[in-house]
Structure formats: C-alpha cells, structure tokens
Structure 1
C-alpha cells in the first residue's frame, strides 16, 4: 500500500494568513520562531529560527461533531509550498521520538481501538496496518506530548 501525507490545505492557510478568524473566532497570533519545535502544517517543514509564524486554532474536519477536535497549529506567516512528497516517506517536520496515531472512518469519527502512541520509525507500518481496516479511511498524526494535530495519512491514489 502507498501512503500519502496530507497537509493543511492552502485555502485555509491563506485564510489565516489574511488575518481571518481561526476555528475559535480569533485572529491568528504572530510569533517569531526560535527554531525549536515549530512545525508548519501547510508545507510540513519546520519554521526556521527568526522566521515569523502564526498560531491558530484549527479543526481539520469537514463538519463539526463530537469527534471534531480543535487545537493549536503553527504555519509560516508567509506563503509556503510543500515539496512533492514521496509516497510512504514521513514528512520532514515529524522529528519527535513518537506520535499519536488515530484512525477515522468516512464520517470522520474515531474508529475505536486504533489510537496509540507510536515510535517515529514504526509510523509508516502502523499507518498501513490501520488503513487495511475497512472502516479506517484516514489516520491523523498528533503530538504525543501536546495532542496537536500535524497531518493526516490516506491511501495514495
């Protein structure tokens, strides 16, 4: 199976960069990166030291419901572009030793029994395992320390 890692869409990023309200109705906060742990959800690269970035509340779901979590995300303050991802290769901004993986169904509800903290090197194999389950249509990758959403993984077309 081939896996595709899906970042924040460019329309949402442009909306936030334009100062529009985030998922909580607040304008994004602008900060300057210290170069440590500031992963941009749009290009899936780290924001370099001294670069401006935004902090905003984001709900990476198409509908609101009990499972549609909202949380903080970072993104470059200026437009950025993701490099073409290699299928099955983890995005460069995933640098912690482990992450939370959680499977979601077609209605964007958590598939119980799929969540867990997974070591970085084991993430591709676990995603493949989860995506083989008929009810799992996407896997969210979140911080194991702060529960922040990073990206989602889906079967590649």
Structure 2
C-alpha cells in the first residue's frame, strides 16, 4: 500500500446518538426512530463497526451520511448499539465483522459527487479502496452494505 492509497475507516461518534437512548417510545416515534433488541446476528452498529450481541438494545434510525450540497446528498437506515464505543480502526484495518459482507464502494470528489463505484467482497475491500484512492480527484469513500444498500462507514485517506 502506497501513501496515496493508505486509508482509515471512520465510525460514527457515539455522543451523537447517546441522548436518543434516553427517549421514551413516543419521543422516538415522533423522530421516526425504532428501539429494538437484537434477536440474533446481523445488526451492524455504525459506531462500534461490529455486530451487536443478541439481546442488545439498539436503535434503528435514518441517518444523513452524505449531507453534501450535491444531487448525491443521501440518508438511510442505520443501527446504533446502546453500549457501543466508537471504533478507531488502525490505518488499513478492516474490522472482522465486515469481512464476510458484500459492499458497494462509492468514491466522492470534493464537491460530494460520485466519481466511481463498484462492489467488493469484504475480504477484498483493501484492494478496492486502494484503487479508488489512487485517483487524485477522490476526496473520500463510503461503504454500503450492497444487499440492503445501508450505509456502513466512511473511508478517509491517511497521509
């Protein structure tokens, strides 16, 4: 990996969601947020960048992951675990929970427009990320779970 294609995954900050866990069902419903208990595997927390355990308290909410002043502005559903601490993967690290997945990898320029996109298996994310980061006009990437289209995390270049 060269310095041009070195990367780091960026999780969402826990403090952005912590106050929501104190809300009652009515207040959550007004915000179109659902409180759930994980009933098995498959609930990927965007703060911890991993799956929450069965029985864990979590929220399902719409999150604006791409607030750009661009036609590509976007939001979508995410899960956030109640006890999640913000993950800080090392440069070049892909969390183990992401390895079995299939991801849409989207490259954005400085204006927030998509300049490239492809699909990659979790086991091959490094090579796909590196390929997109080699483009000088790539500002950052987003990873989405390909099958449901939900936002997973942001990828930033490490200098």
Aligning the two structures, in what range does the TM-score lie when normalised by the shorter sequence? 0.7 to 0.9
Separation of aligned partners in 1, 2:68 and 2:87:
28
C-alpha distance in structure 2 between counterparts of 1:108 and 1:88, whole Å: 23
> By percentage of residues, which structure has more helix?
2
Q: TM-score, normalised by structure 2?
A: 0.84
* Equivalent in the alignment of 1:26: 31
| Matched residue count | 152
Q: 1:104 & 1:148 partners in 2: Cα distance?
A: 17
Flag structure 1 segments of 5+ consecutive residues without an equivalent: none
1:17 maps onto 2:21 in alignment: yes
Which 10-residue stretch deviates more, 50-59 or 85-94?
85-94
CA contact (8 A) 2:11 2:49 kept: yes
* Alpha-carbon displacement from aligned partner over 1:12-52 (angstroms, at most 9, x marks no partner): 22354354x89xx7242100102311000011121100111
Kindly report which structure 2 residues correspond to 1:53-68, keeping only aligned pairs within 5 A, or say none: 53-63=58-68, 65-68=70-73
Whether contact under 8 Å (2:66, 2:75) holds in the other structure is no
Mapping 1:42-121, distance limit 5 Å: 42-63=47-68, 65-78=70-83, 80-111=84-115, 114-121=116-123
Larger RCO (alpha carbons 8 Å, 6+ apart): 2
SS in 2 for 1:115: strand
Q: Distance in 1 between matches of 2:76 and 2:57?
A: 20
8 A contact 2:12–2:86 mirrored in 1: no
Distance (Å, rounded) in 1 between the aligned partners of 2:20 and 2:66: 16
Q: Which has the higher strand share?
A: 2
After TM superposition, give the deviation of residue 83 of structure 1 in Å.
4.3
Q: Residues of 2 paired with 1:63 and 1:117: CA distance?
A: 22
Regions of 4+ moved over 4 Å: none
The answer as to whether partners of 2:102 and 2:122 remain within 8 angstroms in 1 is yes
